[in-house]
């Protein structure tokens, strides 16, 4: 990449953010690859889960529901 003066100044002020993002993305890819490889070699169930049990049903009511939206939020304006 051809370095421009503004880029050098931004790096000195804020750090090399693109490099940090690329490094974090590589780390996450390695970690997810490890998880996916470990999962594909097993039965597909999370570690420690009983082999014959069915997943718990998802409740459609109760404490897991989303909070109500406030009025006026996410409302498109008519133009």
pLDDT (mean) for 8-35: 94
pLDDT of residue 51: 58
Confidence of residue 4 (pLDDT cuts 50, 70, 90): confident
What span, in angstroms and rounded, lies between the C-alpha atoms of 31 and 45? 18
Q: Is residue 47 part of a domain?
A: no
User: Which tokens belong to 36?
Assistant: 């996916």
Q: Is residue 63 part of a domain?
A: no
Q: Is residue 64 part of a domain?
A: no
Q: Is residue 78 part of a domain?
A: no
Domain count, the chain: 1
Q: Is residue 14 part of a domain?
A: yes
Q: Is residue 15 part of a domain?
A: yes
For the question of whether the overall pTM of this predicted structure is more than 0.75, the answer is no
Contact present, 19 and 10 (Cβ < 8 Å): no
Q: Is residue 20 part of a domain?
A: yes
Say if residue 8's pLDDT is above 60: yes
Give the Cα-Cα-Cα angle 25, 31, 32 (nearest 5 degrees): 85
Q: Is residue 50 part of a domain?
A: no
């Amino acid at each position: 990449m051809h370095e421009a003066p503004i880029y050098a100044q931004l790096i000195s002020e804020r750090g090399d953010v693109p490099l940090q993002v690329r490094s974090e993305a590589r780390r996450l890819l390695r970690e997810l690859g490890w998880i996916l490889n470990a999962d594909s070699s097993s039965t597909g169930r999370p570690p420690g889960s009983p082999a014959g049990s069915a997943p718990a049903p998802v409740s459609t009511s109760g404490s897991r529901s989303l909070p109500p939206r406030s009025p006026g939020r996410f409302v498109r304006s008519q133009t």
